[in-house]
Structures are given as C-alpha cells and as structure tokens.
Amino acid sequence: MDRHMFTTDLMLLAVFLSSLLFSDIPAASATPPSARPERVTVTAGGRVDMCLSCHRERPDTSHGRDVLGCAVCHLGDALAGRKKQAHRGMVLNPGELAVVDLTCGRPGCHADEVKWVKNSLMATNRGIISTLRYYWGESPDNREEISVSRLKETGMNSPALDYYRKLCGSCHLWVEKGTLPFFLSTKGGGCTACHYLKRHPGYAGEKDHGHVFHPWITRSVPMENCIRCHNRSGRIGLSYRGEFESEGYGTPYVEGDLSPAQYADGRFFLKVKADVHHEKGIVCIDCHTQREIMGDGTYHAHFEEQLEVTCLTCHNSVEALETVAAASMEETGLQEKSGGSERIPKLDIRKKGPAFFLEDKSSKKLHRLNPPDPVSCGNPVHSRLACQACHSTWVPQCYGCHVRMNRREKQLDKIALKETPGRWKEYRSFIRYESPPLGILEGHDSGSGRGGTGGKVVVMVPG
C-alpha cells in the first residue's frame, strides 16, 4: 500500500473518531448525563480537566478554577467524558480530614499545614478528654494520650467519655460537616470548619447561569466560625462578644413571650459589656496566630502550652514591640535571640513613625497599641498580678452547675453517630457575671509576662 495513502486513511479515521467523541451538545446547564463534552478543557497550567466543560462555578481567587481545575481538590476522574465516570471517587468537601492528604495536603499545596492540623488540639481534643477523665477520677493526671480518632477506632467508653461523646463530641475537626443533626450540621469539616464561607459576600443576590454557588475558602476567618464551637465551657467566644448565658428562664420577656436572645441550641443569654478589643473591631484571628490554632507539628497536651500571644505581645515597651514588628515581616516569625531561636508571635503589627499599630485582617484598620501604665503595671507590688486580674470587667460564673445521666433513656453519641443508652442533662443555678473571682495559678505566667514567685493571681471561671 502506498505510504501516503496509508497516512491519509489514518488521518481520516482520527477525524471520524474525534467527531464521535466530541459531537455537539447543548449548553452545560442542559447537558444530559450521558452526553460527552464538545471539547477537551485544559487548565492554565496545561492539565486536562473535563470537569470544566460542564461546571461554571467559580471558587475564591486563591483556588481559581482556570488555574487549578476541579479534580485537584474534589478528586474524581478528570479525564472522563461522562458524568457518571467523572464523579466516581469524587469528594464533596476536600477539607475533610479523612481525605485531606489527597486534596489540601497534596504536594505543592498545604502539606505541612495538614500534618500540623491533624495533630492539633482542635483535631484530637486530647486536652478536653484527658482533663475530663482526670477530674472524674478516671486518670491519674490530665496528660493522658486519648484522642477523638482513638475513640472512633476502639469504641472506648467510660462515664467521663460517655459525657464527652454526647455533650462535647461535636466540636472537633474530624466531624464530617453535615453528618450531625440540626444546628450541629454546620460544625466540623476539617479545614473547612474554619476557612469556609457559604458564599462570598459580593455574590449576594447574583445568579450563576443556573448553577449553585461554590463555597468560598478564605484566610480571613470570621468570628462566627470560631464561636460555633467556642461557646461552652469557659464561654470565651460569648464573653468576648458581650453575651452572658443566663439561667434559662427566657427573661426578660418581650411582649408576653420568651426573650428572643436565644442560641440555636435553646440557651438564653443577656447582653452585657463586650470585650474592649471586640468593640474596636478586632476578631479572633487578629490575635491568635496560625501556630496557636492549627498547631506546629509538636505534641501539646493543653492549649496553654502552644499559646504564643499574651497581653504584653501588643502592650509592651518600644524595644519589645520592635521585635514583634520585625517578626511580622519575616516569613517564619522566628527571631534569633540570646543565642537561640525564640518563638516570636507573627502578628500584623506595623510601625508608623514612633507609634505601633495592629492591622486587623478583615478591614485592614490600624489599631494603636498603648503601652502599659508604668505606675500601676510597673509597681513591684503588682508583679504577681496577671493583666486580666485587674482588666476583666466580668466573667461567667456558675456555682450550682451539675449534670445528671438517666440510664433509662438514649442519646446521640456524636462520635459513633448513633444513639446509645444514657442521656445526660445539664443543670444550672446561682449563675453570676459580676466581680470576677481571683485565684492563684501555680507555675503559669498567665499573660502578664512579668516575674514573681508563688504563682500568678489570675481570674477564675467557676463552672
């Protein structure tokens, strides 16, 4: 056979097969599941991603669809031309810790952060679990290595662990978003527990060619995402906003009905004075660093062990603020000091002339940092006082709080995701917020950064 004729026949065959593979199809919003895309779609980086031939949703600019495509995050088969094959193995939430090593944690993305997060206190809950078992007499100390993963894998249980499973077990990063009922469905989701927005505020009211909005991933984590979990125990998130959880009577009544000041879980609250930092527009991530929240790869039994920021991080001498401001400009946030590597909190602290400012992450507003009063704070008599001992206007206090378990009833085990015998109920009485009680905390600096012996005088939160 003539070589030229053979080559021509092959070219015609290729054109014919291509016409079968990439025949004309309707618009994406009306594409039947069995139809094939009309062309091969390729990302800006040269990766074939057939998902883009149907999907029009646009995520945040850091994860641009034209650059990354869809499958790099959501998995599935990016080379498949039909919906059923393309969606095989796909994950809805790439941030779930069960799959995150294949998605967010893949090489070239956030591999280090994923390793840190999976060992963090928010993922393992080991601080909460070990302390609960210690207080309930089930462990000789509060440094026991028991994590959420171990509870899931072994089914380990006890009275203290049963209490944790049913009343506390929704606040960790291993919870799959949407698996728990009612308001609890918004919790968890691994990376997306913090970095997820349902939609970008600028998209409000817009339509996207009949497609659903793609969730927005953000570094500017809103305080609401933090308070989904940080609203019990010390009620730190609620107190920061100036909300005091009341005894549950629903007072003061409004037009003959219960108070509308109520959380999704039924708890009532009263509005009191908010933290001065909240009044200035400062949110959680403006003070708490990445290493504090996401972990640093090091084992920590309790949060105070990985705490980097204290009051004196911002309210300190010019020399100290010079160091913190310099660390803000460094990639690692580490400075060599006294012959060794000292951890310096990486905050957005800026120097403008002789003054220092904290730049908040949401509005980029500059908040002037005032130094401590040298007369009051520098007085040797006050050397043992933590800053909060004088500057806390109120704290939640419950002197009659207790729990009871009814063995005849069942309750949802939020780790095993099934109802098991035993229902826990919390009771409260003699709740107060005024006159914060003080106590001595041995062996802790507790935020003041000053010297002294015999332990710090700190604010206590009973209950």
Distances, alpha carbon 178 to alpha carbons 116, 122, 175, 410, in Å: 24, 18, 9, 22
pTM for the structure as a whole:
0.83
| Distance, CA of 37 to CA of 26 (rounded, Å) | 9
Residue 5 has pLDDT above 50, yes or no: no
**Number of residues assigned to the chain:** 463
Cis peptide before 252 (omega within 30 of 0): yes
Q: What integer pLDDT is reported at residue 4 of this predicted model?
A: 46
Residue 129 has pLDDT above 90, yes or no: yes
Is residue 152 included in any domain, yes or no?
A: yes
Distances, alpha carbon 12 to alpha carbons 6, 15, 448, in Å: 10, 5, 80
Q: Please say which residue of 90, 105, 127 terminates a domain.
A: 90
Q: Please say which residue of 210, 235, 260 terminates a domain.
A: 235
Q: Band of the pLDDT at 200, cuts 50, 70, 90? A: low
3-class secondary structure, 410 = strand
Is residue 3 included in any domain, yes or no?
A: no
Same domain, yes or no: 132 and 64: no
Q: Which of 135-139, 389-393, 449-453 has the lowest mean pLDDT?
A: 449-453
Q: Which of 15-19, 297-301, 369-373 has the lowest mean pLDDT?
A: 15-19
Residue 17 has pLDDT above 50, yes or no: no
Is residue 69 included in any domain, yes or no?
A: yes
Q: What integer pLDDT is reported at residue 211 of this predicted model?
A: 55
| Distance, CA of 103 to CA of 114 (rounded, Å) | 10
Q: What integer pLDDT is reported at residue 20 of this predicted model?
A: 35
CA dihedral of residues 71, 76, 80, 86 (deg, nearest 10): -110
The tens digit of pLDDT for each residue in 92-128 reads 999 999 999 999 999 999 999 999 999 999 999 999 9
Q: What integer pLDDT is reported at residue 263 of this predicted model?
A: 95
In total, how many domains does the chain have?
A: 4
Is residue 302 included in any domain, yes or no?
A: no
Same domain, yes or no: 332 and 444: no
Q: Identify the domain containing residue 448 by its residue range.
A: 397-459
Is residue 256 included in any domain, yes or no?
A: no
| Distance, CA of 143 to CA of 300 (rounded, Å) | 9
Residue the block writes with tokens 């509870």: 151
Same domain, yes or no: 418 and 454: yes
Q: What integer pLDDT is reported at residue 443 of this predicted model?
A: 66
As a whole number, mean pLDDT of residues 272-284 equals 97
- Which helix (H) or strand (E) segment holds residue 86: the answer is helix 83-86
Q: What integer pLDDT is reported at residue 58 of this predicted model?
A: 82
Is the C-alpha dihedral spanning 241, 247, 248, 254 positive or negative?
negative
| Distance, CA of 138 to CA of 60 (rounded, Å) | 47
- Beta bridge partner(s), residue 424: 405
As a whole number, mean pLDDT of residues 184-210 equals 76
| Distance, CA of 197 to CA of 143 (rounded, Å) | 35
Is residue 261 included in any domain, yes or no?
A: no
| Angle made by CA atoms 92, 95, 100, in degrees to the nearest 5 | 105
Distances, alpha carbon 105 to alpha carbons 64, 67, 94, 272, in Å: 17, 18, 10, 42
Is residue 121 included in any domain, yes or no?
A: yes
| Distance, CA of 361 to CA of 364 (rounded, Å) | 5
Same domain, yes or no: 445 and 414: yes
Same domain, yes or no: 121 and 223: yes
Q: Please say which residue of 90, 125, 140 terminates a domain.
A: 90
Same domain, yes or no: 173 and 228: yes
Burial profile 119-134: b = 16 or more Cβ within 10 angstroms, e = fewer: bbbbbbbbbbbbbbbb
Q: Nearest CA to 248 among 427, 433, 405, 435?
A: 427
Taking the CB of residue 116, how many other CB atoms lie within 10 A of it? 19
Q: Which residue has the higher pLDDT, 215 or 365?
A: 365
Distances, alpha carbon 297 to alpha carbons 121, 226, 291, in Å: 11, 21, 9
Q: In the 8-state DSSP scheme, what is residue 260?
A: S
Question: Contact, 187 vs 177, CB < 8 A?
Answer: yes
Taking the CB of residue 35, how many other CB atoms lie within 10 A of it? 16
Same domain, yes or no: 224 and 118: yes
Residue 33 has pLDDT above 60, yes or no: no
Residue the block writes with tokens 């403006």: 286
Question: Which residues fall within 8 angstroms of residue 403, CB to CB, at 6 or more apart?
Answer: 163, 167, 424, 425, 426, 427
Q: What integer pLDDT is reported at residue 16 of this predicted model?
A: 36
Same domain, yes or no: 179 and 131: yes
Share of the chain above pLDDT 90, in %: 67
